[in-house]
Structure 1
């Protein structure tokens, strides 16, 4: 039971679009948990209305999205089982001033190398700038690192197809690329692609992949230590509440095994004795709390279960604080 509790706490969660996060979404009308409701996406300043289930989208259900700059016009969206858009219209309103661009079409899936997250990205359709210029064709997405990996979702949009000017009825066919890395649902401004610029983007992407390795190691180490401190706090509470305080020495040994193991994992050179070149701090933490660390501290099954529960609670609290 103790190990099962730990595994459940450590397992990564996979969620659909979750509007229960009050930092980003605010329910403005109806039932936004289990029913028909309208939410305000405060980050992108959009209204999204439809039927919700456990504060998440329902696959295949029709949703309507609007923005102050669309002047009352609403666009359809349809989501997949993964909570990401499958098809419909995406308002690119972040940073928009007087007009708001809209992409309408199908969406593909891309694993963002610098965010370690799966995104829905424009695949095929029409990107209308709102000023009479439309890009009709096939789209692709090249992830960008930004200042530091894992912080802000950024990337370059690449397009091949027709650039259409509806006012003078002209058309230009070719390869285009966004003139800068685009943040999230930000406005995309295309320019004709040039060989030197595409080569520069390619080189920058591969350089950033190498830099991102160090960024992620630092973030993983910090996360491991935040989790360790949360665990130690819960272990202290468990030991203080144990019968007669008799578990104190076992709790102390467990705490130091955890700290010592993390220090060695975080500071030992790759390939050194007793370490694995592929073991990152987070993985090492999981090994410590689910394996030998608990086994060494006590032969008392009741106390062992209490420690395991304390570890699971600490992990849950750390994960909740990190959201």
Structure 2
């Protein structure tokens, strides 16, 4: 029989699961997450350090992205020099190969090896590559061999962190005990990103609870996304107001720059507030679903024309609006 520490280490690893993203389109151009450590990581052969997951990925790149069908090698310091193959599809998502599932204590490295399916994560508004069929080796002598599925979870707030439950049907094999158990298993909690998966035998009551929670979360996510869209619209509004104020203050032909700027600002604020509170079924209720679109409508030429008849100032305001939107988008990244 196996000594206990390795399984205790896996339990600890579940609690310390890395906040790594699920496998998504791989674009290594973001310097905040990826660093080229060798070769040409834009259009050529190169090795990239994934600083978020502390992994190395080497292969041929095109436009700082993976090439469909090309072989890539991934490794982690805890894999002690061992490298795993990965192959990506035309959509930039992994098709097949090995995914290091976070990392644990005592040099235990869980790895899934097999094929990946596609799944639209309802709570992230993103398409993911998720384990489909293969072997999940936990690194402590336990392997799950069979078919996998992924059930999205909302987490604390939709659109913030990728979370989901992993469901498995097949053989749980204990290599050290030379034993096998066939059945349905499910992760004992929602898995964060590409973190460690701890399976337990599925029970009818637990599966029913997951199903009910999923449908409840779908309803709650609608409110989360509406709030996020509204917050984004107001961030843009504040950025625009600041730029408009500067433009009005520096205008020599605005008929009282400060006064015109104040009127424009309040027209914008009033329009946003009223569109946000329009009752269902009213003429402006459609704006409730997309406050960002409503904001753009409010600051287009029609709105600018009401501020002043000065074409030069109108052009300056249009540029101020564009600058405000650009600054807001940059701040929101």
When the two structures are superposed, what TM-score results if normalisation uses the length of structure 1? 0.85
- CA gap 1:66/1:76 in 2 versus in 1, 3 angstroms: same
Provide the residue aligned with 1:102 in structure 2: 111
- CA gap 1:242/1:147 in 2 versus in 1, 3 angstroms: same
Task: Provide, for residues 250-308 of structure 1, a one-character-per-residue CA deviation record: whole Å limited to 9, x for no partner.
Answer: 65544333221111122334334643375332232233234743454455555444433
**2-side partners of 1:161 and 1:10: how far apart?**
27
> Offset at 1:231?
1.9
- CA gap 1:8/1:251 in 2 versus in 1, 3 angstroms: farther
- CA-atom RMSD in angstroms: 8.7
**1-side partners of 2:178 and 2:14: how far apart?**
64
**1-side partners of 2:16 and 2:260: how far apart?**
22
> Offset at 1:128?
1.2
Provide the residue aligned with 2:261 in structure 1: 251
**2-side partners of 1:231 and 1:52: how far apart?**
39
How many residues matched?
323
Structure showing greater Rg: 2
Structure 1: give runs of 5+ residues left out of the alignment: none
> Offset at 1:110?
1.3
> Offset at 1:54?
3.1
**2-side partners of 1:281 and 1:150: how far apart?**
17
Residues 233-242 or 63-72, more deviating: 233-242
Are the aligned partners of 2:18 and 2:53 in contact in 1 as well (CA < 8 Å)? no
> Offset at 1:246?
7.8
- CA gap 1:224/1:77 in 2 versus in 1, 3 angstroms: same
- CA gap 1:309/1:50 in 2 versus in 1, 3 angstroms: farther
> Offset at 1:310?
2.9
- CA gap 1:4/1:307 in 2 versus in 1, 3 angstroms: farther
Provide the residue aligned with 1:280 in structure 2: 290
Residues 301-310 or 116-125, more deviating: 301-310
- CA gap 1:4/1:113 in 2 versus in 1, 3 angstroms: closer
- CA gap 1:240/1:194 in 2 versus in 1, 3 angstroms: same
Task: Provide, for residues 143-176 of structure 1, a one-character-per-residue CA deviation record: whole Å limited to 9, x for no partner.
Answer: 1111122221110001112222223333222111
**2-side partners of 1:264 and 1:7: how far apart?**
46
**1-side partners of 2:14 and 2:179: how far apart?**
63
Residues 302-311 or 104-113, more deviating: 302-311
Residues 153-162 or 56-65, more deviating: 56-65
